[in-house]
């Protein structure tokens, strides 16, 4: 019997990849997993599963050791190239769009809400010495993960050490980077996108965002367009459409239930809105992206 993609929550991807990575170094236990040497072959299986943005059920730290990739995390796009650390917080919408043939990374997954947000960045470029440090930490973590009995406290301490190392390297790089003046409009864009990420599924009226930012709707539109090249409605629609795609492909909820969850007045309006944004009705989109 074929499995449909909406039956695969993101937390289950690692279980599916365990068989795809037969003979590779993969270990999972409870709310922790580590995949060493995840190359383009393994990652293309992830691409096959993540045809649309998927919500991460755990935090992930990927240490890219070779190659490059293009990822989209929430509203932001990232061009990832080795050596670097990619921080993927729990609850984020991830879409891996492409990768080079020589792409390879180590991936650590672990639970703990807000463990990565405080670091303040999702991409850390690594100097060779920092990359070597992360390599050693991951290899030690891999070795200790296989010890019997499982040394849970030791493993958790090492995960904490990796998170702290990310924070230290990111802070050092920030301190060494010449300070660039952030314009008022750039700061408004940052605040606006944070509000959109938190509120777009329930609030789509521009006056709501303007009021929260204590500015006029006109100034909101002007500032966001000047800072990003898009008007506010584009970012709201991007977020809302990504959320709808996720719910259609990774849950069994009906279009009517999704319509209510996303605060549309009725399912017909949701269907018209979704088709305008994607070219497909919710039902057509689910059918097109269901088979894996």
- Model confidence at 47, pLDDT cuts 50, 70, 90, reads low
Burial class, 253, CB count within 10 angstroms (exposed 0-12 / middle 13-18 / buried 19+): middle
Q: Tell me the average pLDDT of the chain.
A: 85
For residue 155, pLDDT beyond 90: yes
Work out the average pLDDT over 103-129: 89
Structural domains of the chain sorted by starting position, each given as residue range(s) with its CATH number in brackets: 5-176 (2.60.120.280), 184-290 (1.10.10.60)
More confident residue, 136 or 194: 136
Please tell me the distance from the alpha carbon of residue 82 to that of residue 206, in angstroms, as a whole number: 40
User: E strand or H helix at 98, and its extent?
Assistant: strand 93-99
Spell out the alpha helix ranges (H) of the chain.
Answer: 13-20, 40-49, 128-145, 152-176, 184-199, 206-212, 217-228, 232-250, 255-261, 267-278, 282-290
CA 262 – CA 175 distance, rounded (Å): 41
| Rounded Cα distance, 2 and 241, in Å | 27
Picking from 93, 10, 99, the residue whose alpha carbon sits closest to that of residue 57 is 10
* 192-222 tens-digit pLDDT: 988 998 899 899 999 999 999 999 999 999 9
Q: Tell me the whole-structure pTM to 2 decimals.
A: 0.77
Query: Does the pLDDT value for residue 48 go beyond 80?
Result: no
Distances (CA, A) of 111 to 1, 7, 61, 91, 224: 31, 21, 11, 11, 34
pLDDT digits (tens, 9 = 90+) for 165-186: 999 999 998 887 776 677 889 8
Give residue 9's pLDDT.
45
Across residues 106-126, what is the average pLDDT? 88
């Amino acid at each position: 019997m074929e499995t449909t993609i909406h039956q695969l929550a993101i937390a289950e991807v690692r279980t599916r990849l365990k068989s795809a990575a037969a003979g590779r170094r993969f270990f999972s236990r409870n709310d922790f997993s580590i995949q060493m040497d995840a190359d383009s072959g393994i990652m293309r299986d992830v691409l096959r599963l993540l045809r649309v943005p998927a919500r991460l059920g755990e935090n992930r730290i990927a240490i890219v050791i070779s190659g490059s990739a293009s990822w989209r995390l929430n509203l932001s796009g990232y061009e990832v190239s080795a050596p670097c650390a990619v921080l993927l917080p729990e609850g984020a919408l991830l879409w891996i769009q492409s990768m080079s043939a020589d792409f390879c990374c180590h991936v650590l997954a672990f639970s703990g809400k807000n463990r990565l947000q405080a670091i303040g960045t999702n991409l850390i470029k690594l100097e060779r010495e920092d990359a070597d440090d992360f390599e050693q930490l991951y290899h030690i973590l891999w070795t200790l993960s296989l010890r019997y009995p499982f040394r849970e406290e030791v493993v958790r301490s090492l995960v904490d050490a990796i998170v702290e190392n990310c924070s230290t390297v990111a802070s050092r790089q920030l301190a060494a980077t010449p300070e660039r003046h952030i314009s008022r409009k750039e700061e408004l864009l940052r605040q606006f996108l944070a509000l959109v990420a938190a509120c777009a599924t329930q609030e789509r009226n521009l006056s709501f965002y303007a009021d929260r930012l204590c500015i006029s709707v006109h100034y909101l539109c002007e500032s966001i367009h000047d800072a990003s090249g898009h008007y506010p409605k584009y970012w709201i629609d991007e977020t809302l459409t990504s959320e709808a795609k996720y719910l259609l492909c990774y849950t069994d909820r009906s279009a009517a239930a999704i319509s209510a969850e996303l605060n549309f007045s009725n399912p017909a309006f949701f269907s018209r809105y979704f088709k305008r944004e994607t070219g497909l009705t919710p039902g057509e989109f689910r059918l097109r992206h269901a088979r894996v």
